[in-house]
Structure 1
C-alpha cells in the first residue's frame, strides 16, 4: 500500500492530499499531467471511494488540480506555490472550504449557479472519472460554490443522476426525415443510441430492463424505434418485445465500456496487460486437452483476439435484424 507524507494523526484523505501535493511540488506531476482518479486512489491507498473523492475535492479547492471532460483530473495549469511538505499546523478542511465558499469568486459563482450548470458539471465528472466519483460536494467544488448550494436545485445525488441521464440522452438526435424502410430506421436509431453510450460510458449501467428509466429524452429514442416497427401487423406484446430486445443489445454491450474503465482503475492494468498477465493460465487451459475447439480457435489467432465493441455492436445488430425480418415482414 502507498505510504503518504502527511502527519500520522491526519485522517486518510488528508494523507492522500499530502502525498499528491508532494508529487506536484517535486515535479513528478507536471501541469496538465493526470493525477490518480478516485478509483485509482481507492485502489492504491485502500480507501473508500468517498474518501478518494474528498481528497480530490480538497486538491481542487486548493487550486492544485482541475477536472477535464473525458480526460480526468489533471494538475492545474497555473498551480499555486506548493510547499515541499504539508505544514503541521493548518486550517481545518472545514475552515478551508468555508473560506473558499465566502470568497468574492465563490459568491459570484453562487449568483451564476443554475440547474443546467450543475447537471453539465456532474456529467463532466462522470465522463472523466466514472459515476462512482460523482458526489454533490464534488460538483459544488468544481463549480466553486458552497457544498450545500447544489441542494437548492437538486435534492439528492439520485435525482441528479436522473437529470444527467436525461440530458445525455438528449445530446444525440435522429434525423428529421426518417428512412422509409423499417430496417434502415432501426439501424439509424440503434447507432444514434450507441453514440450516446460511447460519449457517456456510465450511462448504460444506471438502469436495467426490468426497471427502465422513464425519461423524456430516452423515450424520444424509444419512440423512434417503436414507430419503425409499427404498422407491420405485429401484436403490441411482440412489437414491444422486439423494441426491448434491440435496446438490450445496445445497452448490454455499452455497459462493458464503464466496466473496463473500473477494472483498469482497480488493477492498474490495461485490457491487453491484463490478458498478457493471464497468458500462463490460458496456455494451461489450451494444453489440457479438455477444450479442443477452444484450443483450435485460440491457436488460430496470429496476434491474439482483439475484442472490438464497435464491431460487435454492428455484427449483433445485423444478426438481430436478419433474424427479425421474417417476424416483422411475415
Structure 2
C-alpha cells in the first residue's frame, strides 16, 4: 500500500467513527506534510483519494471539509408546491466564476499533483462548481493548460537595471529565472514544446531578453536562434526530472536519497565488474539536481563565450569573414575557389 493510501485510510477511519463530522475541516496539504512527514505531492494525493471516494469536498475560502450537511438536525420537509411550478433555486456559485479563478485553481492542482492529475472535472471540484460551467470561460483542457503557462510566465520578468548586464550575466540570470519557474511549477517543463512552440504571449519578453543579448554580440541570425534554443532546452530538459521525481516520491513515499539507499546493494552487485563505477560509488557522490543544473549551465555559457569570442564587434569573425561568410576581399568563403 502506498503511503498516501495509508494516510487517507487513517482519515477515512476518523470520518467513519464520527471524529470528523460533516462540515468539519480535514487537515490541509501543509498540515499533512508536517504531521505525517511526507512530501507535498503525497499530501495532495491523500486529499484526492478522499475526494474521489466522496468523503470530502472543497469549499472556496474555507478549505477541504467532510462531505455532507453540517449538524445532526434533519432537514425540514419540503413545502408542497403547485403542479408545474418549481421552487426558487439558490443562485449558483458559477455567477462569480472567472477564467482567472479557473486558471489559478488549475495551476494549484498541477503544482501539487502533476499535469496527469489535471482534468476539467478536478478543477471544477476544487472550485465547487459544475464541470460544464468551466467551458463558459475556457475552451477545453488544452486551452486551459495554455492559459496556465501564460499565467506562470507572467511572473517571469527582468528589471531595467538588469539591461546593463553583459551578455553572459544576462543569459545566466535568464536561465536561473527559468529554472526557478520550473522548480515552482514542475509540470511546466513537460507542457512546453521546443519542436512545436506554443504561442504563449507572456513568454515573449523572456525570449526577447535572451535573443537581444546574443544579437548585441554580433552573432548571425541562425547562431542567435540556435544558441537561444540550446539554452532554453537545456534548462527545460533538466527540469523534466522535477515532475518525474515528484511523481516517484508520491508513489513510493521515499525521496531520491532514501530510494538510492535502498537500491545500493543491488547497484553495487550490478557494477561489480566495472572498477571505475565501483571506486566512484564507494567514494560517494552527493547527487543534487540544482548543482547539476548549475554545472551544465556554466559549461554551456563557456561554449557560447568561445563562439562569441570568434565574432568581432562589427560582426566579422576572427579571420575577418562577415556573417554571410565573405572574406575581407569580398569573396564568398563558402564557395570553392578556382
Q: TM-score, normalised by structure 1?
A: 0.72
**Cα distance in 2 between the residues matched to 1:248 and 1:18:** 42
Give the match for residue 13 of structure 2: 22
**Cα distance in 2 between the residues matched to 1:310 and 1:82:** 50
For residues 282 and 241 of structure 1, do their structure 2 counterparts lie closer, same or farther at Cα, with a shift above 3 Å needed? same
Give the C-alpha shift of residue 119 in structure 1: 0.6
Q: Does 1:145 align with 2:129?
A: yes
1:29-88 CA-to-partner distances (Å, cap 9, x unmatched) read: 963443999x879x99xxxxxxx968625647x44x6799xxxxx8649997699xxxxx
For residues 75 and 23 of structure 1, do their structure 2 counterparts lie closer, same or farther at Cα, with a shift above 3 Å needed? farther
For residues 18 and 318 of structure 1, do their structure 2 counterparts lie closer, same or farther at Cα, with a shift above 3 Å needed? closer
CA contact (8 A) 1:31 1:78 kept: no
**Cα distance in 2 between the residues matched to 1:274 and 1:67:** 37
Give the match for residue 48 of structure 1: none
5+ residue gaps, structure 2, are: 3-7, 73-87, 311-338
Give the match for residue 154 of structure 1: 138
Give the match for residue 295 of structure 1: 278
CA contact (8 A) 1:21 1:82 kept: no
CA contact (8 A) 2:156 2:206 kept: no
Give the C-alpha shift of residue 182 in structure 1: 0.7
Give the match for residue 5 of structure 1: none
Matches within 5 A, 1:201-212: 201-212=186-197
**Cα distance in 1 between the residues matched to 2:134 and 2:67:** 27
**Cα distance in 2 between the residues matched to 1:117 and 1:277:** 43
From 9, 12, 32, give the equivalent of 1:34.
Answer: 32
Bigger Cα Rg: 2
CA contact (8 A) 1:197 1:204 kept: yes
Give the match for residue 248 of structure 2: 263
**Cα distance in 2 between the residues matched to 1:329 and 1:82:** 74
Give the C-alpha shift of residue 139 in structure 1: 1.2
1:145-202 CA-to-partner distances (Å, cap 9, x unmatched) read: 2221101111211110010011111112112231331111111111111121111111
5+ residue gaps, structure 1, are: 3-16, 45-51, 69-73, 84-101
For residues 205 and 165 of structure 1, do their structure 2 counterparts lie closer, same or farther at Cα, with a shift above 3 Å needed? same
**Cα distance in 2 between the residues matched to 1:54 and 1:78:** 13
For residues 165 and 82 of structure 1, do their structure 2 counterparts lie closer, same or farther at Cα, with a shift above 3 Å needed? farther
Give the match for residue 8 of structure 1: none
Q: Which has the higher contact order (CA 8 A, sep 6+)?
A: 2
For residues 250 and 242 of structure 1, do their structure 2 counterparts lie closer, same or farther at Cα, with a shift above 3 Å needed? same
CA contact (8 A) 1:166 1:218 kept: yes
**Cα distance in 2 between the residues matched to 1:252 and 1:136:** 28
From 137, 152, 156, give the equivalent of 1:168.
Answer: 152
**Cα distance in 2 between the residues matched to 1:75 and 1:110:** 19
For residues 67 and 268 of structure 1, do their structure 2 counterparts lie closer, same or farther at Cα, with a shift above 3 Å needed? farther
In terms of mean alpha carbon deviation, does 125-134 or 19-28 score higher? 19-28
Give the match for residue 104 of structure 2: 120
CA contact (8 A) 1:24 1:82 kept: no
1:186-244 CA-to-partner distances (Å, cap 9, x unmatched) read: 11111111121111111011133212222111222111110110032222111111111
Give the match for residue 182 of structure 1: 167
CA contact (8 A) 2:94 2:129 kept: yes
CA contact (8 A) 2:120 2:134 kept: yes
Q: Does 1:56 align with 2:51?
A: yes
For residues 296 and 103 of structure 1, do their structure 2 counterparts lie closer, same or farther at Cα, with a shift above 3 Å needed? farther
Calculate the aligned-residue CA RMSD, in Å. 3.7
